[in-house]
Amino acid sequence: MRREKEVLLDQLEEYVPLREKRVLEVGCGWGRLSALIAERCGSLVGVDPNSDSIAAARQRLLERSLTNAVFAAGRAERLDFADDSFDIIFFSLSFHHVPLELMPRAIDEALRVVKKDGYIVFVEPAMDGSAFDAEKLFGTGDEDEEKEKVAAYRAMMEHPGLRLVQEIPNETVLHFDSVDDYIESMLPTRNHNQIRSFLEERNFTFRAERRIVIFQSKE
């Protein structure tokens, strides 16, 4: 699987400069976006509840000789940092994974640890595009999380402590070299007999719609 050029951070930096900023990435996963952020910011702290993800993120940045990032186990609803510690809080396709009843608390925590003039940025998957269609058909990725995605968007838009700065549409373009490449990359769980025709109809290229939502504190 190959991704076309990632423009997410270019879009973000039209509103939120990363240079010399101290960034907290909540839900860093395996560190793909972590590496891109670390290349642009002053320092990065990545947290994730999964220890395997933390180990993979550390290895990814080590391989790219990026020394301005550290990673630790942590959860969005309980951030182990002092008040006003970061210039930017960045949720990397992770906020919809927070349990629904804890989403307001996670936002409260982000507001606590971000500086008063800082930014809280949510990058969240939308529910349009061929990549989303494939998730539903083949049982990959977040195919069963439509309710959580809707709840996550509502939680951020309705939180009384957040002031919306900008919402930006974004997409990731994924290209697969073959049926085997798709299967190895995405691990489909059903309808395997339809994979080839689905890929061929779309020239082995999927589009994953996303949104970048930027907030500041109302205080």
Instruction: Write out the DSSP string of 18-50.
Output: -TT-EEEEES-TTSHHHHHHHTTSSEEEEEES-
Instruction: Kindly list the distances between the CA atom of residue 173 and the CA atoms of 3, 6, 31, 98, 110, in Å, as whole numbers in the listed order.
Output: 6, 9, 19, 26, 30
Residue with tokens 């320092």: 43
Confidence of residue 142 (pLDDT cuts 50, 70, 90): low
Instruction: Let me know if residue 199 belongs to a domain.
Output: no
Number of domains composing the chain: 1
Tokens describing residue 188:
């489909």
Confidence of residue 170 (pLDDT cuts 50, 70, 90): very high
DSSP letter, residue 197: H
Residue with tokens 């642009």: 40
* Mean pLDDT in residue range 49-58: 96
Question: Does the structure show a pLDDT above 90 at 155?
Answer: yes
Give the model's pLDDT for residue 143: 56
Indicate the SS3 state at residue 5.
Answer: coil
Range of the domain at 159: 2-135+142-173+209-217
Q: Which tens digit of pLDDT belongs to each residue from 107-120?
A: 999 999 999 999 99
**Whole-prediction pTM:** 0.92
- What average pLDDT does the structure give for the chain? 94
State the CATH number of the domain containing residue 37: 3.40.50.150
Which one, of 116, 95, 125, 107, lies nearest residue 8 by Cα? Answer: 125
**Rounded to whole angstroms, how far apart are CA atoms 180 and 46?**
32
DSSP letter, residue 109: H
Percent of the chain exceeding pLDDT 70 equals 98
